[in-house]
Amino acid sequence: MKFGIDRLLTESELRAPLEGKRVSLIAHPASVTAQLEHSLDALIERGINVTSAFGPQHGLKGDKQDNMVETSDETDPRYDIPVFSLYGEVRRPTGQAMSTADVFLFDLQDLGCRIYTFVTTLLYVVEEAAKTGKSVWVLDRPNPAGGPVEGTLLLPGQESFVGAAPMVMRHGMTMGEMGHWFIDHFGLDIDYRVIPMEGWKPGKAPGYGWPQERIWINPSPNAASLNMARAYAGTVMLEGTNLSEGRGTTRPLEVLFGAPDIDALAVLEEMKRLSPMWLRGCRLRECWFEPTFHKHAGTLCNGLMIHAEGQFYDHHEFKPWRLQALAFKAIRNLYSDYEIWRDFPYEYEFDRLAIDVINGGPALREWVDDSEAEPGDLEAIAHADEESWRETIAPHLLYG
């Protein structure tokens, strides 16, 4: 199969409209060709007139470790072109930055999750291009989580940098498809094109979203594996809690939780009692770890490791958002006074609890904290939202 960047580089008719145009690239470390050549190098080597570049959260180099760690603008030392940060003084491209090119190539590897900020970056780029009469091309890449959708819809008024629009947590789209939906949803007038992948089959064995012949490269520092990408639509919620998501270890965001004062196996048993169906599609394993930084640094934590991989992965059964919600509910049942929710600024939102920013509303937190609420209550809300989202995106899907 071919990703969008590989098709652009090898099919001259796709490149032809770029002749005589100034081109900018939005990229990160996973923006590479099938031969692992970075897209910036590959485009310039093929004679494309690249006049600027942009880096999203974590930077073009992917060197910034945590959330709310900003990157500065710089000049590329090899090509002497400006590299603008979309996670620094601004998160939208400025008019000055937009003036550096005619066509903006968007080549970011996504994880298939609304909260992953590259989704919002795409919206901001498309909106600013529409205002300034520029063109945006998405060089499409796989959604490694495949096509399933899951979670509750972001509520009106709950928008943020991790919640661009009313979509569910696990959105089930590629970036190319997402751009089409943004344009339709916001009524944008723009020259927008997708260089689609060739041969990508979401939901099909053996890769179920990620082609086995392609190397996994971290699109952000803590997105270290396909297992993480599959689990992320659930484990990212740990960022809004006092439970460790495994930052400061070699397997961040692949654990259901970790904490020094919680019995992980007891939580697992309570999860099985509450809703065994929500545990399907993966295997949970007790683990111990001591984070070297971040939450509970230097303290031994007991937790549960998620294995949505190999023989333990069932693509059509795995529900990471429900799985994570169930873990929170089990912890609340066993430790009624435990301070699960972390009260701190999250992605520049200072007036809402981080867990509500992450979920696009308070429904999940309220369900966890309500001692009378059952799994079926959350299921009813999520199922309705998921059905609505599937209908909304159906006209924009490119890959079946």
Q: Give pLDDT, residue 180.
A: 98
| 27 within some domain | yes
| 382 within some domain | no
| 220 within some domain | no
Domain end (from 208, 235, 254): 208
Same domain, 253 and 362: yes
Q: What is the pLDDT of residues 98-149, one digit of tens each?
A: 999 999 999 999 999 999 999 999 999 999 999 999 999 999 999 999 999 9
| 336 within some domain | yes
Same domain, 72 and 203: yes
Average pLDDT score over residue span 36-59:
95
pLDDT band at 65 (very low <50, low <70, confident <90, very high): low
Same domain, 42 and 114: yes
Same domain, 187 and 243: no
Same domain, 64 and 172: yes
Contact 137, 106 (CB under 8 A): yes
The pLDDT of residue 355 is above 80: yes
The pLDDT of residue 92 is above 70: yes
What pairs with residue 192 in β-bridges? 136
Q: What is the pLDDT of residues 205-232, one digit of tens each?
A: 989 999 999 999 999 999 999 999 999 9
Average pLDDT score over residue span 283-304:
97
Contact 195, 182 (CB under 8 A): no
Q: Give pLDDT, residue 43.
A: 98
Which residue range(s) make up the domain with 150?
4-208
CATH of the domain at 91: 3.40.50.12170
Assigned token pair, 5: 């960047």
**Distance, CA of 174 to CA of 359 (rounded, Å):** 20
Share of the chain above pLDDT 90, in %: 92
Assigned token pair, 356: 């509500």
Q: Give pLDDT, residue 63.
A: 54
Same domain, 230 and 200: no
Same domain, 34 and 140: yes
Average pLDDT score over residue span 258-273:
98
pTM of the full structure? 0.96
> Mean pLDDT, the chain, as a whole number?
95
Angle at 259 between CA 258 and CA 263, to 5 degrees: 95
- According to DSSP, the β-strands at 283-289 and 50-55 are unpaired
| 145 within some domain | yes
Same domain, 296 and 190: no
Q: Give pLDDT, residue 55.
A: 95
> How many structural domains compose the chain?
2
Q: Give pLDDT, residue 4.
A: 98
Buried b (16+ CB within 10 A) or exposed e, 162-186: bbbbbbbbbbbbbbbbbbbbbbebe
Sign (positive/negative) of CA torsion 199, 203, 206, 211? positive
pLDDT band at 72 (very low <50, low <70, confident <90, very high): confident
Closest by alpha carbon to 227, among 144, 289, 131? 144
CATH of the domain at 348: 3.90.1150.140
Average pLDDT score over residue span 300-328:
98
Same domain, 123 and 271: no
Residue 286, CB-side half-sphere exposure with 13 Å CA sphere: 9
| 394 within some domain | no
pLDDT band at 350 (very low <50, low <70, confident <90, very high): confident
Assigned token pair, 11: 């099919």
| 396 within some domain | no
Contact 296, 259 (CB under 8 A): yes
| 393 within some domain | no
The pLDDT of residue 68 is above 70: no
Edge to edge, the sheet with strand 50-55 lists 74-75, 82-85, 50-55, 23-26, 103-106, 135-139, 191-195
Same domain, 138 and 239: no
Same domain, 260 and 307: yes
Same domain, 247 and 347: yes
